[in-house]
Amino acid sequence: MANLINEAEIRTTWAPIIEEATGINDSEKLAWMSTYCHNHKLYEDANIMSLSNNPGPMNLTGMGAVSFPTQTAQNGDTSGAVGSGDKAPTLLPLAMQVAAQTIALDLVPVIPMAGPMGLLSYLDFTYEGGTIELGATAPTYIKSDVDGASFGPGSPVTSATYTKVGESRIDGYAIYTVVGDLVEANVLADFRVACADNTAKVELVKALEDHIPGFSGDGVTSGNDPYATFAKPFSREGGERTADKLMGLSLFSKSVEAETFQVAAAVTREQVQDLKQFGVDAVAQVEAVLTNELTQSINDYILGRINELALENKAAANTSLDLALTYGAGGNTYGDVNRRILTHILASANLIANRGRRGAGNFAVVDAKVASALQGVAGFVPNPMANTVSQVAGAIYPVGSVAGINVYTDPRIPFSGYQAGSPAEETHRVIVGRKGDGNGAGLVFMPYLMAESVQAIAEGTMAPKVAVKSRFALVEAGFHPETMYYSFEVTGLEL
């Protein structure tokens, strides 16, 4: 299902509706929600009751038997049954509320999908690219987990020579230049023969994350002082005689399949009847509870994935910013000590800039006790976020910002944090990350149907049932998505 009008028309049509229904006025969120609402409307229009030639010409197909949608996983088929047409007329408003209340979507770029499957395209840059496994064109630079000064030609016999020129800043892999023709069909097979290791990993060298000193000039200076090691420019004659080396702009595509959160609830006829005397719509209350369940599930999933990548980056960086607070030393006040948390948040944001080379971190997720400490520090001014939607109980919510970093609180975490270490000690984890634009490294959220509601009447009891389903994909984009996130532990915190 493709968009039938351009993005400007979509934004003009849907932005006022979304702003009135949800209160959202942030331009970035209005942009992707407008695209999503357009796709959702096309989906609804394609699933209404229509005329059919079966059993006779121009007959209504009718509603048919009551049936809920199902999802199967047989022989690779995940389409399942679509269910009967007992759809509520408020599907899109329900979907907008889920999108508005899922505050974790402020932490990752959002690219709506027009169907249950699609492609995510993102940009990356390589040094004099080529291909590794296809064998069409060999790259002139590769990196591998096998470390050595040089490999080939020799025994085992290969015609290509691999000479080490440095190491990756991200994963520590050795970076090699590739000179000569390949004996094997591709550089992966040829390098494995050259280094006599059939399990060797081979990757392209990424220009942003893995910098090769001297690539654009006449080599690098030599010396034992790393601060005095730098690339040297060509002389005029050297520049005239040396061909330019190439940087590769690569467009990568990743297949995406929508995954599902789903939940259902039922009310009795007595509940529907008796609650009316209090002005309560039982079915509407059930939908609100189901919406809250989907919202929290999506929030938890996004935060869980961010946390996994943050730990990967922390281990790969071999840099710990864990903070052990001590009060009462040297006349320090609680404000003096707790301000160190802000410093470590800023340090984590700068470490993300150092590792990922795409900019500093711009958000942090903390628990309620750390948030309380930050709010108590002089100079920390809570600023309301551009998203003014009131968050449902249990969802993460914005606290404020400091030095350009938006701070969010995750109330799922116990106020006293978690117990870790030996002996067990109260530990608070702070997650810092960078929200990009969807074209670089990091997680990307791709919604297909934020909330699809199906209402049916049970034939036996005639009581209403409601089922709500959310379908989306959370995709890791880029060569090193983990470099966009980092976490550190805080111990000894007092208020």
Q: What is the mean pLDDT of residues 245-250?
A: 74
State whether residue 305 is helix, strand or coil: helix
- More confident site: 135 or 482: 482
Q: What is the mean pLDDT of residues 217-221?
A: 79
What pLDDT shows up at residue 305? 92
Is residue 492 scored above 80 in pLDDT? yes
Which residues have CB under 8 Å from 322's CB, separation 6+?
Answer: 488, 489, 490, 491
Most confident of 109-123, 240-254, 357-371, 448-462: 357-371
d(C-alpha 297, C-alpha 299), whole Å: 5
> Could you give the percent of the chain with pLDDT greater than 70?
73
Is residue 2 scored above 60 in pLDDT? no
Q: How confident is the model at residue 489 (pLDDT cuts 50, 70, 90)?
A: very high
Tens digit of pLDDT for each residue in 71-104?
A: 444 444 444 554 444 444 444 555 656 666 666 6
Domain over 85-121+261-495 is classified CATH 3.90.1690: yes
Question: In the structure encoding, which two tokens stand for residue 371, read together?
Answer: 């948030």
Is residue 308 scored above 70 in pLDDT? yes
Is residue 146 scored above 80 in pLDDT? yes
What pLDDT shows up at residue 244? 82
What pLDDT shows up at residue 306? 93
Is residue 256 scored above 90 in pLDDT? no
> Poorest-confidence range of 66-70, 136-140, 255-259, 285-289?
66-70
Is residue 329 scored above 70 in pLDDT? no
Would you give the DSSP letter of residue 275? G
- More confident site: 428 or 254: 428
Is residue 251 scored above 50 in pLDDT? yes
Contact between residue 429 and residue 417 where contact means Cβ atoms under 8 Å apart: yes
What pLDDT shows up at residue 53? 45
Q: What is the DSSP string of 94-131?
A: HHHHHHHH-GGGGSS-B---SSSEEEEEEEEEEES---
Tens digit of pLDDT for each residue in 433-444?
A: 998 877 778 898
Is residue 186 scored above 70 in pLDDT? yes
Q: How confident is the model at residue 254 (pLDDT cuts 50, 70, 90)?
A: confident
Contact between residue 474 and residue 443 where contact means Cβ atoms under 8 Å apart: yes
- More confident site: 271 or 45: 271
Question: In the structure encoding, which two tokens stand for residue 340, read together?
Answer: 């160190």
> Poorest-confidence range of 27-31, 188-192, 335-339, 475-479?
27-31
Name which of 351, 365, 352, 348 is nearest 442 in CA terms. Answer: 352
Domain ranges of the chain: 85-121+261-495, 123-252
Most confident of 45-54, 128-137, 226-235, 329-338: 226-235
- Is residue 473 classed exposed, middle or buried when 0-12, 13-18 and 19+ CB atoms within 10 A define those classes? buried
What pLDDT shows up at residue 432? 94
Q: What angle do CA 297, 302, 303 make, to 5 degrees?
A: 100
d(C-alpha 346, C-alpha 364), whole Å: 10
d(C-alpha 205, C-alpha 197), whole Å: 20
Is residue 423 scored above 60 in pLDDT? yes
What pLDDT shows up at residue 74? 41
Name which of 467, 148, 167, 458 is nearest 290 in CA terms. Answer: 467
What pLDDT shows up at residue 293? 83
Q: What is the DSSP string of 179-210?
A: ES--SSSSHHHHHHHHHT-TT--EEEPBTTTS
Query: Whole-number mean pLDDT of the chain?
Result: 75
What pLDDT shows up at residue 409? 87
Q: What is the mean pLDDT of residues 323-330?
A: 79
Q: What is the mean pLDDT of residues 343-366?
A: 89
Name which of 125, 120, 91, 93 is nearest 108 in CA terms. Answer: 120
Is residue 202 scored above 70 in pLDDT? yes
Q: What is the mean pLDDT of residues 203-214?
A: 80
What pLDDT shows up at residue 101? 60
- More confident site: 451 or 199: 199
d(C-alpha 469, C-alpha 226), whole Å: 55
Tens digit of pLDDT for each residue in 11-58?
A: 777 777 777 666 666 677 777 777 777 776 666 655 544 444 444 444
What pLDDT shows up at residue 64? 53
